[in-house]
Amino acid sequence: WEKGYPTHSYQRTVDQWWASPGHHAIMVGNYNVAGGSWSVSKSGATYSVMVFVKTCSATSTGSVNNPPPTLTSRSPGWGATGVSPATSASVRFSEAVHGVSTSTFVLRDASTGTVLPATVTYDAATYRAVLRPSHWLALGHGYRVSLSSSIRDAGGASLAFTSWTFTTARVQVFSPTRLVSFGAGKHVGYRFGTNGAVLATKSYTLARASSASASRRALVTGHGGTWYLISNGIWAGYWVQASSSVVLH
């Protein structure tokens, strides 16, 4: 403790006193200050200071902090790869929320930013929201899921804007198999090696429209477009390329 206040002012309830710049001073007595009180007493050349500070009660009548909602789970996961093109996106919130809709929970093409048409549902009992694309996603492609800060809890606290990406698989397996229709005319089936090399072909001309079953669709290395693996009929075990005359149903 140093005897005085360097170049500071001190205000009491009734009067004021200032220390001069470059000098120290001290006043003996009792003083009230915001949040408590203090006293100064002198005994010879010794000064004693007693400080009394008010403390807050353990309970408070002030407003209680309202933490914002967060995500406790998400699917597909952040940066997931090999995701089924038939996937839905889902999230679970840490508490009940409102404002979940097709404008606040969206799926975009990661390359173009285009919002994909989808339906969105929210289960208030489980805090879970699901986004279901209107169509299968493209094979081997990136997508971005976003949730906006317009989603809020009952107290008005907003979800922090959240966004992440995932990539679909290059192959989609059908179980059960799907129907592929062929228009009349010439069609060619292919057998590919693991690196996309052509191992065999089968060409056939249909006199009229026909159909067959497909067990999967895929991207084939070195060959453009989407391909269907036919499981019965003329091209059983061969891949045929999707076109206006080869259509998956």
Question: Number of C-alpha atoms within 13 angstroms, CB side, residue 178?
Answer: 13
14 pLDDT higher than 60: no
Identify the H or E element spanning 81: none
Rounded mean pLDDT of 110-139?
98
219-243-224 Cα angle (round to 5): 35
Q: Which of 12-16, 47-51, 88-92, 242-246 has the lowest mean pLDDT?
A: 12-16
What are the pLDDT digits (tens) for 15-25? 433 444 444 44
Report yes or no: 216 and 173 within 8 Å, Cβ to Cβ. Answer: yes
Q: Look at strands 210-220 and 223-230 and give their pairing.
A: antiparallel
Alpha-carbon distance of 196 to 25, in angstroms, equals 92
Rounded mean pLDDT of 123-143?
98
User: How confident is the model at residue 152, as a pLDDT?
Assistant: 98
What are the pLDDT digits (tens) for 193-221? 989 999 999 999 999 999 999 999 999 99
Kindly report the pTM of this predicted structure: 0.70
Q: How confident is the model at residue 63 (pLDDT cuts 50, 70, 90)?
A: very low
User: How confident is the model at residue 166, as a pLDDT?
Assistant: 99
Rounded mean pLDDT of 107-119?
98
What are the pLDDT digits (tens) for 70-111? 999 999 999 999 999 999 999 999 999 999 999 999 999 999
Report yes or no: 154 and 96 within 8 Å, Cβ to Cβ. Answer: yes
The ranges assigned to domains in the chain are 9-53, 71-169, 172-248
User: How confident is the model at residue 137, as a pLDDT?
Assistant: 98
User: How confident is the model at residue 46, as a pLDDT?
Assistant: 52
CATH of domain 71-169: 2.60.40.1220
Report yes or no: 189 and 220 within 8 Å, Cβ to Cβ. Answer: no
Rounded mean pLDDT of 42-53?
52
User: How confident is the model at residue 58, as a pLDDT?
Assistant: 43
- In this predicted model, which residue has the larger pLDDT, 56 or 239? 239
User: How confident is the model at residue 192, as a pLDDT?
Assistant: 97
Identify the H or E element spanning 226: strand 223-230
Torsional class of 156: left (φ above 0), alpha (ψ -120 to 50), beta (otherwise):
left
Tokens at 230, concatenated: 């036919």
**Which residues 6+ apart lie within 8 Å of 221 measured at CB?**
195, 196
User: How confident is the model at residue 65, as a pLDDT?
Assistant: 82
User: How confident is the model at residue 25, as a pLDDT?
Assistant: 47
- Name the β-bridge partners of 117: none
Closest by Cα among 134, 137, 149 to 103: 149
Mean pLDDT of the chain: 84
